[in-house]
Chains A and B, each alone.
Chain A
Amino acid sequence: MKSAVIVFPAANCDRDAQTALTQMTGKAPHMVWHQDSELPDVDLVVLPGGFSYGDYLRCGAMANQSNIMGAIKTHADKGGAVLGICNGFQVLTEAGLLPGALMRNAGLKFLCKPVALTVEETQSSFTRKYDKGQEIHIPIAHGEGNYYADENTLDRLEGEGRVVFRYRDNPNGSARDIAGILNEKRNVLGLMPHPERVVDDALGGIDGRGIFQSLIEALS
């Protein structure tokens, strides 16, 4: 599986994603600068976590204006896989590649801790190696992870099996405990927790491996 990680100024988890992808796929991902306008030939594009553009205006809003976004939209339109982690999820909602928006945590505090999630959906390239209903533990690190969408959109997401991960103990006020969702074509996943931080036992867990193993199986 060939992958690329987009490098935005102040998105500080790009190297975590790079390390996890290298470790999991055996191949270093392309690191693509946000001002580039073309993507290399890859199967997967990762929008990493962090605070692109200092979260100015709204989290993800400025990153969505980057040159590279056009190429990412084209990649997604053609069915290419896109994974948005944390700030990457926020960018994908701003870009309209995923519905809804990420708002300030209900408790107003920045939260940085491991959380328990339920894998709700295994019919996707991102989650096929998990079991449906499986409990996994993945860290979160965000101030704006409170998922919002109108009721119709939420019903639609649930009805179409696009709510992929749910918090077991909702930390941020997200509608219907949503931690991660798919787009309609199921090739774009956004999630607030950081799976790239839990692929190595030395770092406290390996529950994030399933996403990368699923992608490798689906895309290789």
Chain B
Amino acid sequence: MKARVFITLKNGVLDPQGKAIGHALNGLGFGSVGEVRQGKVIDLELSGSDAEAAKADIKAMCEKLLANTVIEKYEIELK
């Protein structure tokens, strides 16, 4: 089974990298771009076929290591 985890900064946490990307896009002439927030994508390959168990496992992985829940939130997508 494959899974994709999206890790992004929580709302309200300043994102200097996102801000710089936004400025750069504006500088390239993409004037429609307002706020930009960036994050991480982590692809996982898992053994087993129980989707619910996999989701619970990945949630534990996010809480323990993949995300810092002080500043980040995560979303899990099973494929």
Co-assembled chains A and B:
yes
Please measure, in the bound complex, the distance between the C-alpha atom of A148 and the C-alpha atom of B71, giving whole angstroms. 8
Of residues A65, A101, A105, which shows the largest number of chain B Cβ atoms within 10 Å of its Cβ? A101
Interface size on A, residues (CB 8 A): 19
Q: Is B66 an interface residue (CB 8 A)?
A: yes
* Most chain A CB neighbours (cut-off 10 Å) among B13, B17, B70: B70
- Would B65 and A146 count as touching, CB distance under 8 A? no
In the bound assembly, the distance between CA atoms of A94 and B71 in angstroms comes to 11
Contact B14 A106 (CB under 8 A): yes
Q: Which of A57, A105, A173 contacts B66 (CB 8 A)?
A: A57
Q: In the complex, which residues of chain A have a beta carbon less than 8 angstroms from the beta carbon of B70?
A: 93, 99-101, 148-149
* B68 and A108 within 8 A (CB): no
- Chain A interface secondary structure, helix, strand, loop or mixed? loop
Q: Roughly how many angstroms separate A73 CA and B20 CA in the complex, as a whole number?
A: 37
CA distance A152 to B5 in the complex (A): 29
A58, A104, A107: the one contacting B68 at CB < 8 Å is A58
Q: Is A61 an interface residue (CB 8 A)?
A: yes
Least CB separation from B64: chain A residue: A65
Give CA–CA (A94, B69) in the complex, Å.
Answer: 10
Interface residues of B in 42-79 (CB under 8 A from A): 65-66, 68, 70-71
Query: Separation in Å of the A172 CB from the closest CB of chain B?
Result: 9
Nearest chain A CB to B71's CB is how many angstroms away? 5
Q: Which residues of B contact A61 (CB under 8 A)?
A: 65, 68
Closest 4 CB pairs of A and B: A101-B70, A101-B71, A104-B16, A106-B16
Q: Using a CB–CB distance below 8 Å, which chain A residues touch chain B? A: 57-58, 61, 65, 93-94, 99-101, 103-108, 146, 148-149, 173
